[in-house]
Amino acid sequence: MSSRDQFASKIGFILAAAGSAVGLGAIWKFPYMAGNHGGSVFIILFIAFLFFISLPVLVAEFMIGRRGQVDAVTSFKQQAPGKPWYLVGYLGTIMASLILSFYSVVGGWILSYLIRAFTFRLKSGDSESFEQLFHAIIQNPWEAVFAQGMFLLITIGIVQAGIKSGIERASKWMMPTLFIFFLILVVRSLTLPGAMEGIRFMFVPDWNQLNWETVLLALGQAFFTLSVGVSVMITYASYLGENEQIGSASIHVALMNIFISILAGLVIFPAVFALGFQPDAGPGLAFVILPAVFEQMPLGSLFVILFFILLLFATLTSSISMLEILVSVVIGKRRTNRVRIAWIGGLLIFIVGIPSTLSFGIWSDVQIANKSIFDAVDFLTNGIGMPIGAFFISLFAGYYYKTSVSKQELNTHPLFYYVWLILIRFVTPIAILIIFIQGIRNVF
């Protein structure tokens, strides 16, 4: 490759960025985090943080990436020569790799479900409920580790093929199809008897549930779901040509994400209450509830296959973005050896992820700061790494960039520009600082 790939079209870039953003964060993590932390209170905080804190950082990452046209670390080095800003790129690379280490655990669960769905074994039998089925899958160390490895193999396969052919082609039709699927599922879930209790859980706030840990976790979720704070979006925007509108692309990505998150909630919570489950079931929530909803539909055992295929793709469009940042940073300006670096990086991430997989089974007793290994890695990345990364990115775009530079990059109506500038200079960094300090004090 003599010159860097670029996205072939604007819609290709938006879909790829949205593909990175929309994934397990919206469909798997958002419902169980909301379920564990008081439903509506978490959801309200999450939406507010997404628009006022996470979205401005997304815009900033797009700016930094497009200006640099190189990997995240080199981008900071070029734009701030001799200054330590590039450490933000390294921090992001490490964090994104750690996220992938546990993301691939859940990706593996999807593969396990898919194999069962293909053989029509994804149903609650007389002797086995969906909860038991889920636990049987995650507790079996061989199956879980094998499935995690398979998921990473697919991720590596796409990343080594290069940005344009792999990512853009895949994103184009999968996201809209997934969206339609969710609409159908929402209708089914909302028409179950007793569904309204789930709506109440999602939208009527119980402010007694408000505490600093919930606030920090909602902030972490707002970052996680937009893939913000770990320089992944810097990496993607580095493939972006000069003429694209960064502002509208960011808003598109954020809106798509909110929609899918809320739709996932509207499928899961009504069904939780209608079918007699608990909202605070933890990481298994979506995996227990979604098949149960399909079981309530005609031809459900066929649709569930399609659904898990789409979910797998949505998950892959996120996982490839995490491996992509590692590969691009290691490749740097050399632009060679993409294949070898993708394999070695993927293998290392696999090894680092094995303890997270086992923490649902044979290592479930191991605790780090009162959390399972999986939860600890999740908290380290989401609760600590992402806010720190986002904080520095907001300072870089807000203060290090001259306003003439950011104005030209954003290239939008002055009103929008100044709203963004105020958010990125004052609201984002100050809010992150307060929430981070209070949240961390609360957790430890």
- Minimum CB distance to ligand PFF smaller for 348 or for 422: 348
Residues 317-376 that bind ligand PFF (CB under 6 A): 318, 321-322
Residues 80-119 that bind ligand PFF (CB under 6 A): 96, 99
Please report whether residue 235 would count as binding ligand PFF according to CB under 6 A: no
Give the x-and-dash track for 300-319 against ligand PFF (CB under 6 A): ------------------x-
Any bridge partners for residue 371, and if so which? Answer: 368
Please report whether residue 261 would count as binding ligand PFF according to CB under 6 A: no
Please report whether residue 20 would count as binding ligand PFF according to CB under 6 A: yes
Least gap, CB of 64 to ligand PFF (angstroms): 15
- Minimum CB distance to ligand PFF smaller for 27 or for 145: 27
The single residue among 17, 24, 266, 397 that binds ligand PFF, judged by CB under 6 A, is: 24
- Minimum CB distance to ligand PFF smaller for 272 or for 316: 316
The single residue among 21, 216, 293, 329 that binds ligand PFF, judged by CB under 6 A, is: 21
Please report whether residue 224 would count as binding ligand PFF according to CB under 6 A: yes
- Minimum CB distance to ligand PFF smaller for 28 or for 273: 28
From 21-29, 128-136, 159-167, 392-400, give the range in contact with ligand PFF by CB under 6 A: 21-29
- Minimum CB distance to ligand PFF smaller for 266 or for 390: 390
Report d(CA 176, CA 181) in Å as an integer: 9
- Minimum CB distance to ligand PFF smaller for 133 or for 322: 322
Please report whether residue 225 would count as binding ligand PFF according to CB under 6 A: yes
The single residue among 43, 178, 222, 232 that binds ligand PFF, judged by CB under 6 A, is: 232
**Which pair of tokens denotes residue 97?**
């790799």
- Tell me which residue of 70, 154, 155, 160 sits closest to 340, measured CA to CA: 160
Least gap, CB of 53 to ligand PFF (angstroms): 15
From 19-27, 42-50, 263-271, 395-403, give the range in contact with ligand PFF by CB under 6 A: 19-27
- Start-end of H helices in 69-129: 72-79, 86-118
The single residue among 7, 14, 15, 25 that binds ligand PFF, judged by CB under 6 A, is: 25
For residue 396, what are the contacts with CB-CB under 8 A and spacing of at least 6? 60, 64, 76, 80, 85, 88
CB neighbours (10 Å) of residue 128? 13
The single residue among 15, 16, 18, 26 that binds ligand PFF, judged by CB under 6 A, is: 26
- How big is the site for ligand PFF, counted in residues (CB under 6 A)? 16
Please report whether residue 163 would count as binding ligand PFF according to CB under 6 A: no
Least gap, CB of 144 to ligand PFF (angstroms): 19
Least gap, CB of 200 to ligand PFF (angstroms): 26
Please report whether residue 175 would count as binding ligand PFF according to CB under 6 A: no
Least gap, CB of 65 to ligand PFF (angstroms): 13
Do 16 and 158 meet the contact criterion of CB atoms below 8 Å apart? no
Least gap, CB of 402 to ligand PFF (angstroms): 28
Question: Which residues in this chain contact ligand PFF in the complex, by CB under 6 A?
Answer: 20-21, 23-26, 96, 99, 224-225, 227, 230, 232, 318, 321-322
